[in-house]
């Protein structure tokens, strides 16, 4: 069973051979003085990093919007700045903060822009071809923050929530503009026949959603349904990512047609996920990087992974594990985590 078949079996609950694991190495690690030691740990786990070769991370460059002390203007006209190389920062100037600017505002051309910058649609096709060649699941994605967050980049969070509360016609226009941009990309992605389309958007803060369930249902959920419907009609798996606490939105997200949810473990609660989400959708679990893997012992880390697997996995599948490695986690703890992944995921 190759990587693609195993992942698809997991996410459609058709008895995979093992629990899929994916690990992201943040480019911010390049500036971490402990990276050489960390890289040696990565190289000791080839089953988790089959394509990684010594020096690969150093050979990668951060995206323009992830470069420290450099302002970057995205496709929508939002100006970004970050304090750390390899980390996406925040918007420091919103193009529609003054709503009077909407009258003359021209949205980006989806055939030439991806939300961040100019690009060619050919790059999406090339990605699919590479995934096919490598035996990987064919996955494509909208820009992170495709709907709700993009509108906050345009208006600012505060102004956008006021627009919703006041039910302004400007909100309707901005929402339609963003949805049309996304729909163009969805339809193009569908034409390439991927296995999975990802809809990444952070909807949660540390202990609450970023907007109330009522506002989500009224202002965001209808657009989500329209964006996901074409993929569902074509038999494509719908994957949704969100950082933060989103348990109050789970029922609504599932109603949109989402089949796989990538969410964080401790923030949302393993027991609550087992009770509310397990069996209703596949759980693509983002393993903690706030407390246990940073401040815990190797035994703490191993026990945490074991608990996640015991409570959320099943022989039918429905659980995959993910982790983002950033500065602040020790090489010892990273090694403990990778070892636990190999042990409990059956790698």
pLDDT per residue as tens digits for the range 186-227:
999 999 999 999 999 999 999 999 999 999 999 999 999 999
pLDDT for residue 176: 98
At residue 340, does pLDDT exceed 80? yes
Q: State the pLDDT confidence band at 58, using cuts at 50, 70 and 90.
A: very high
pLDDT for residue 240: 99
Q: Tell me the C-alpha distance between 57 and 50, whole Å.
A: 14
Residue 196, strand partner residues = 139, 237
Q: Sheet of 79-81: strands edge to edge? A: 72-73, 79-81, 90-93
251-254 long-range CB contacts below 8 Å, 24 or more apart?
252/213, 252/216, 252/217, 252/221, 253/224, 254/280, 254/281
At residue 1, does pLDDT exceed 90? no
Residue 23, strand partner residues = 323
Q: Which whole number is the average pLDDT over 145-168?
A: 98
From residue 178, how far is each of 36, 75, 76, 108, 157 by CA, in Å? 42, 12, 10, 9, 16
Q: Tell me the C-alpha distance between 186 and 226, whole Å.
A: 10
The CB density around residue 323, as the number of other CB atoms within 10 Å, is 23
Q: Which whole number is the average pLDDT over 40-67?
A: 96
Which segments of the chain does DSSP mark as H helices, in order?
3-11, 35-43, 56-59, 122-133, 148-155, 157-166, 169-191, 213-215, 221-233, 250-255, 265-268, 270-276, 292-295, 298-312, 331-344
pLDDT for residue 119: 94
Q: State the pLDDT confidence band at 321, using cuts at 50, 70 and 90.
A: very high
Residue 282, strand partner residues = 260
pLDDT for residue 6: 97
Q: For 280-299, how does the pLDDT look when each residue is reduced to its tens digit (9 = 90+)?
A: 999 999 999 999 999 999 99
274-281 long-range CB contacts below 8 Å, 24 or more apart?
274/311, 274/312, 276/247, 276/250, 277/250, 278/311, 278/312, 278/314, 278/318, 279/314, 279/318, 280/254, 281/254, 281/318
Provide the token pair at 172: 């309707």
Strands 282-286 and 237-241, how do they pair?
unpaired
At residue 12, does pLDDT exceed 80? yes
Q: Which residue, 330, 289, 302, 291, is CA-closest to 38?
A: 330
Domain count, the chain: 1
CATH code assigned at 196: 3.20.20.210
Where b means 16+ CB within 10 Å and e means fewer, 303-322 reads ebbeebbeebbeeebbbbbb
pTM for this entry: 0.96
At residue 69, does pLDDT exceed 90? no
What range does the domain containing 284 cover? Answer: 3-344
Q: State the pLDDT confidence band at 237, using cuts at 50, 70 and 90.
A: very high
Contact by Cβ (8 Å): 236, 190 = yes
138-141 long-range CB contacts below 8 Å, 24 or more apart?
138/4, 138/192, 138/193, 138/194, 138/195, 138/196, 139/194, 139/195, 139/196, 139/197, 139/198, 139/239, 140/189, 140/192, 140/194, 140/196, 140/197, 140/198, 141/197, 141/198, 141/199, 141/200
Grouping H, G, I as helix, E, B as strand and the rest as coil, residue 248 is helix
Strands 196-200 and 90-93, how do they pair?
unpaired
Provide the token pair at 291: 């407390």
Percent of the chain with pLDDT over 90: 99
pLDDT for residue 166: 97
Contact by Cβ (8 Å): 6, 17 = yes
Q: For 104-137, how does the pLDDT look when each residue is reduced to its tens digit (9 = 90+)?
A: 999 999 999 999 999 999 999 999 999 999 999 9
The CB density around residue 302, as the number of other CB atoms within 10 Å, is 18
């Amino acid at each position: 069973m190759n990587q693609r078949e195993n992942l698809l079996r997991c996410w459609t609950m058709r008895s995979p051979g093992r629990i899929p694991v994916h690990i992201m190495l943040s480019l911010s690690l390049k500036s971490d003085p402990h990276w050489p030691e960390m890289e040696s740990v990565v190289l000791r786990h080839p089953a988790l990093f089959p394509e990684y070769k010594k020096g690969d991370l150093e050979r990668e460059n951060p995206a323009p919007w992830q470069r420290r002390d450099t302002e970057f203007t995205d496709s929508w006209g939002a100006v970004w700045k970050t304090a750390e190389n390899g980390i996406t920062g925040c918007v420091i100037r919103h193009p529609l903060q003054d709503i009077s600017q909407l009258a003359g505002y021209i949205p980006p051309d989806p055939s030439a822009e991806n939300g961040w910058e100019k690009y060619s649609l050919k790059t999406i096709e090339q990605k699919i071809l590479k995934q096919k060649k490598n035996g990987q699941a064919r996955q494509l994605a909208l820009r992170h923050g495709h709907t709700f967050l993009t509108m906050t980049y345009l208006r600012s969070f505060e102004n956008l929530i006021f627009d919703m509360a006041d039910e302004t016609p400007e909100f309707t226009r901005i929402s339609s503009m963003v949805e049309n941009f996304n729909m163009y990309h969805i339809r193009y992605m569908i034409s390439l026949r991927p296995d999975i389309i990802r809809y990444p958007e952070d909807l949660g803060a540390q202990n609450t959603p970023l907007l109330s369930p009522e506002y989500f249902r009224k202002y965001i959920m209808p657009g989500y349904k329209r964006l996901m419907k074409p993929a569902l009609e074509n038999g494509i798996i719908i994957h949704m990512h969100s950082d933060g606490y989103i348990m109050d939105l789970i029922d609504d997200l599932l109603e949109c047609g989402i089949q796989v949810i990538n969410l964080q473990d401790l923030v949302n609660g393993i027991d609550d996920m087992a009770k509310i989400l397990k069996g209703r959708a596949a759980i693509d679990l983002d393993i903690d990087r706030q407390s246990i893997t940073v401040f815990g012992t190797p035994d703490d880390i191993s026990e945490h992974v074991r608990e996640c697997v015991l409570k959320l996995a099943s022989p039918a599948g429905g659980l995959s594990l993910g982790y983002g490695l950033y500065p602040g986690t020790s090489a010892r703890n990273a090694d403990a985590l990778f070892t636990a992944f190999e042990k409990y995921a059956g790698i």
